[in-house]
Amino acid sequence: MSTVGAYLRLARAGWILVREGVVAAMPGDQLEGMPRFGWRVAKLMSRRRSARRDRPERLAQAVNRLGPSYVKLGQFLATRPDVVGHDMARDLSRLQDRMDTFPEAQARTAIESSLGLPVEKLFVEFDGPVAAASIAQVHEARVDAGEARPRKVAVKVIRPGVRRRFQNDLESYFLAAHLQERFMPSTRRLKPVKVAETLAQVTKIEMDLRLEAAAISEIQENTKDDPGFRVPAVDWQRTGRDVMTLEWVNGTKMSNIDALREAGHDLDALARTLIQSFLRHTLRDGFFHADMHPGNLFVEDDGTIVAVDFGITGRIGRKERHFLAEILYGFITRDFRRVAEVHFEAGYVPAHHDVAAFAQALRAIGEPIHGQSAETISMARLLTLLFEVTELFDMQTRPELLLLQKTMVVVEGVARTLDPHFNMWKTAEPVVSDWIAANLGPRGMLNDAREGVGALVALVRQAPDLATRTERLSREIDTMAQKGLRFDPETAEAIGRAEARHSRGGRLALWVIAIALAAIAWQMS
């Protein structure tokens, strides 16, 4: 029955997207055959008033009707332009994660259930909500910290029933992804099921506030000596699965440029600090805040930038950091051949392609950059063009790099609102150069050699176990060669059950689709 529910929820979502004019706003003139016919039908079925809105407005209206899980889906897909296209990703990035608040009594119940103590024992004061989003809302409170006055804190509380709602809608997303892979073979390269799995993992992390608190704690430890940047401290005694308590941040939102200017802040210095901090987190730590829009950044009186809301974070491994640094350095020095070789060495571009041809494509990106003034060159635009070119050479989707690209676009955009003449390359050069010297120069070679020796020692320690396992595998292969591959009774029975479920599911799907079409026709009549 859960599959039936998924089909019905998917049909409802499709109907709302059609009625709000989202499908009609797609570039359907480029389609042919049945897809073009479907697009024409969708235009006829859309509401008349939707024609007066542009596509972002139609999208926002549809998502608001669909509920909080679709807001989160839209925000997630905004980080995947490879899946939805750059124009749609830009429209989705404008979705505002603002929802109605839920009653304070429900927040108190959630806190007491999560922490096992009455709210009155945890907080000296606990006030109403000050902000609400799709997954949680934030309350202002005060705690007794043994000081003259109670210390002000921010308390984030999970929205009641949100896990069940997300679980139901995630089932629909997986169904849509499987149908896409089955009936649209050209999209299999984009791995839609893998995209759905990533979304499921992201939402699971976001809905356990202990994990967000751990991310804040890790970044706080990484950045404790960084100039001009910090994150709020976590109150672990008042943090659980459904509640997280942080120090209250007194500062001006970076989105309020006029207030920053009136407070006497150096906007050019703030732009430099923001970009350099992000690059340090990315290259040095391999762990970065992946939602650094102006609403999540505050500036304190002394000019320190404080980041909040760590529900979305990104990680890139050592290989990816080498990849990113060498790409940036190669474009700066116009060594396009080396940039191409890095892609092949990392295994991002299949070996059957020609390195020289790929270097030629990269030159088409890099040469125009060197004909512009440095302050007009966008590093985010460079990465966008780079991913467009790599698609032509069958580069497989790299979600961690796409999340990095999306965050780079946002951070660079914030920097340019602070300083319209912002020089991205001059600002990034000290951080990138230091990282290259430490990791690709003599020091980096020594570190790699030390890690290689450590790996070799670990391999030697495992040699006896590896020999035993190899001998066992050899015997099993010999047995298979003599007697053939056989299933045990439990495996054969499981295969039979799975096949039966598949047949029943197919028949059930046809009935659900028929019922959904009948319901739509009834609503139109």
For 25-82, write each residue's pLDDT tens digit. Answer: 776 666 667 767 777 787 777 777 766 677 777 777 777 788 777 877 777 777 666 6
Same domain (yes/no): 84, 113: no
Tokens encoding 163: 């896990």
Same domain (yes/no): 136, 29: no
Q: Total structural domains in the chain? A: 3
Instruction: Return mean pLDDT, the chain.
Output: 79
Q: Provide the pLDDT for residue 1.
A: 43
Q: Can you give the residue range of the structural domain that contains 353? A: 251-440
**Per residue in 443-476, pLDDT tens?**
555 555 555 566 566 666 776 776 777 777 777 7
Q: Are 219 and 281 in contact, with CB atoms under 8 Å apart?
A: yes
Report if residue 489 sits inside a domain.
no
Q: Provide the pLDDT for residue 112.
A: 95
Question: How far is 121 from 273, CA to CA, in rounded Å?
Answer: 40
Q: Provide the pLDDT for residue 450.
A: 59
Residue 525 has pLDDT above 50, yes or no: no
Q: Provide the pLDDT for residue 236.
A: 95
Cα distances from 257 to residues 62, 268, 289, in angstroms, run 31, 12, 22
Q: Provide the pLDDT for residue 524.
A: 47
488 is catalytic: no
Q: Provide the pLDDT for residue 521.
A: 47
Residue 338 has pLDDT above 70, yes or no: yes
Report if residue 386 sits inside a domain.
yes
Same domain (yes/no): 234, 367: no
Q: Provide the pLDDT for residue 62.
A: 79
SS3 state of residue 207? coil
Q: Provide the pLDDT for residue 230.
A: 95
Where do we find the tokens 């006497």?
264
Same domain (yes/no): 157, 219: yes
Residue 108 has pLDDT above 50, yes or no: yes
Q: Provide the pLDDT for residue 498.
A: 59
Q: CATH number for the domain including 142?
A: 3.30.200.20
Q: Quick one: 44 exposed, middle or buried, by C-beta within 10 A (0-12, 13-18, 19+)?
A: exposed
**Per residue in 79-107, pLDDT tens?**
666 666 667 777 776 666 677 889 999 99
Tokens encoding 523: 């609503």
440, 457, 490 - which closes a domain: 440
Same domain (yes/no): 149, 226: yes
Options 291, 434, 448, 488, the catalytic residue: 291
Same domain (yes/no): 71, 48: yes
